[in-house]
Amino acid sequence: MKNVKIGIIGFGNVGQGFAQAIQQKREFLRESYGINPLITAVCDTFKGSLYNSDGLDLNLLAKPGVGFDEFKAEEKTGWDASEMIANAESDVILELSVVNLQTGEPAVSYITQALNAGKSVITSNKGPIALRYRSLRALAQQNNVKLGVEATVMSGTPAVRLGKEILEASGIRSVRGILNGTCNFILSEMKNGSAFKDALASAQKLGYAEADPTNDVGGFDTAAKVSILSEVFFGERVVPADIPCEGISDLTPQDIAKATEVKSVWKLLGTIDGSTLPPKISVKPVMLPESDPLAGVNGAMNAIQFQTELLGQVTLIGAGAGRLETAAGLMQDLILFFKEE
Ligand code: HSE
């Protein structure tokens, strides 16, 4: 049995979801993989920071809405994220700080510091990976540690691993996907008669939307995700800002009704055509016939469809956001990196 010491930067929904997932699966992780997960350090801009080298009380960390006041006085450190990386005993840092699709900061700096300190990093943060995956992965290799990004696209639905580790050998030619739960939710609600702004308000209330929902409805979140997939599946780095990107904000109730009349539905699709390199990438709303496998993917659900040389078409449908769903993706990387052989 191996103690795996985990430090978490950012203890919002996803961080808490991870604590809950680890608590729920603790015995399973021990018995099946020989992993004894210990969350030793947690740091959050708003809540403060905690540290215990033997592991913080998991039952308390996993309690929804827990405040840091409930922990022992000697566990409160006052460290910022950088001090936590430098001072806390940890094998792996979970980087879950605020998403910044413009610069990737502060996450890029945290990940860089952690990798240089010889710690593996697992993240669901799209900003640093869309903008700097190639150099961060190289840094991880130089330091002989791992960088896990499964949860950046489709949360715990294993889109990244399916493409990279399973389908690659079959020759991925192109990929298209519904990669933003907020937009898919809004489009589904509009098809049922809701106004755009009411549907967006519901998506925000349900916790799907980004802090700045312009990133969702403007297509920029999807652009960040296809940028990550392009690097992972085709080894081609395309900066999100260079991806032609059209969101869903201009779709009118009339557009939605017109699609219904011709037995079609609107979906915001991210596509990567890798049949020639560099791949052609775009993000835009597309009217799909109801017979298309992606047309029936509704609500906050995501989907990805691979066109492969040997296997033809493969479609994966699953969650794309949510606290436990994203935590499941983080846990998959944790298992892969630390399981006993
Ligand atoms: N805002 C994102 C979405 C969250 O709606 O899909 C998951 O990346």
Q: pLDDT tens for residues 119-133?
A: 999 999 999 999 999
**Per-residue confidence at 211, pLDDT binned at 50, 70, 90?**
confident
**Which atom of ligand 1 is nearest to 321's Cα?**
7
What is the tens place of the pLDDT at every residue in 150-161?
Answer: 999 999 999 999
Let me know whether 314 and 332 are in one domain. no
Banded model confidence at residue 207, pLDDT cuts 50, 70, 90: confident
Q: Is the pLDDT of residue 66 over 90?
A: no
In the sheet that holds 302-308, the strands lie side by side as 280-289, 264-273, 172-178, 302-308, 312-318
Tell me how far the alpha carbon of residue 31 lies from the centroid of ligand 1, in angstroms. 33
pLDDT value at residue 300? 95
102 alpha carbon – ligand 1 mean position (Å): 16
Looking at the fold, whether 130 and 179 belong to one and the same domain comes out as no
Catalytic residue among 225, 258, 267, 280: 225
3-state class of 2 per DSSP? strand
Residue 113 token pair:
């510091």
List alpha helices for the chain, DSSP H: 13-24, 26-33, 58-61, 81-87, 107-116, 126-142, 159-161, 181-191, 196-205, 214-217, 220-234, 253-261, 323-338
Same domain for 282 and 218, yes or no, is yes
> Are 199 and 304 found together in one domain?
yes
Contact present, 155 and 329 (Cβ < 8 Å): yes
Residue 149 CA to ligand 1 center (angstroms) comes to 15
**Residues 152 and 164 occupy one common structural domain:** no
Say yes or no to pLDDT of 64 above 90: no
Coil, strand or helix at 264: strand
Q: By the 8 A CB rule, do 269 and 294 touch?
A: yes
Per-residue pLDDT tens digits for 79-119: 999 999 999 999 999 999 999 999 999 999 999 999 999 99
Calculate what percentage of the chain has a pLDDT beyond 90: 96
pTM (global) more than 0.95: yes
Q: Do 262 and 226 belong to one domain?
A: yes
Q: Are 281 and 271 in contact (CB under 8 A)?
A: yes
Same domain, 138 and 24: yes
Domain that holds residue 86: 2-156+323-338
CATH number at residue 132: 3.40.50.720
* Best residue for ligand 1 mutational test, from 96, 100, 152, 182 (most atoms within 8 Å of Cβ): 182
Question: From the CB of 221, is ligand 1 less than 6 Å away?
Answer: yes
pLDDT for 244:
97
The yes-or-no verdict on residue 234 having pLDDT over 90 is yes
Specify whether 295 is located in the same domain as 178: yes
Statement to judge: residues 185 and 60 lie in one domain = no
Residue 225 alpha carbon to ligand 1 centre in Å: 10
Count up the domains in the chain and report the number.
2
The CB of 220 under 6 Å from ligand 1? The reply is: no
Grade residue 277 by pLDDT with cuts at 50, 70 and 90: confident
Residues 163 and 281 in one domain: yes
Check if 258 is active-site. Answer: no
Q: Which atom of ligand 1 is nearest to the CA of 209?
A: 1
Pocket lining: 321 vs ligand 1, CB cutoff 6 Å: yes
Crossing angle of helices 26-33 and 323-338, in 10° steps, is 20
Mean pLDDT over the full length of the chain:
96
CB of 210 sitting under 6 A from ligand 1: yes
Same domain, 115 and 257: no
Beta-sheet strands, E only, within 170-279 = 172-178, 264-273
Residues 120 and 16 in one domain: yes
In whole angstroms, what is the distance from residue 215 CA to residue 213 CA? 5
Residue 57 has pLDDT above 90, yes or no: yes
For residue 142, the model assigns a pLDDT of 98
CATH of the domain at 165: 3.30.360.10
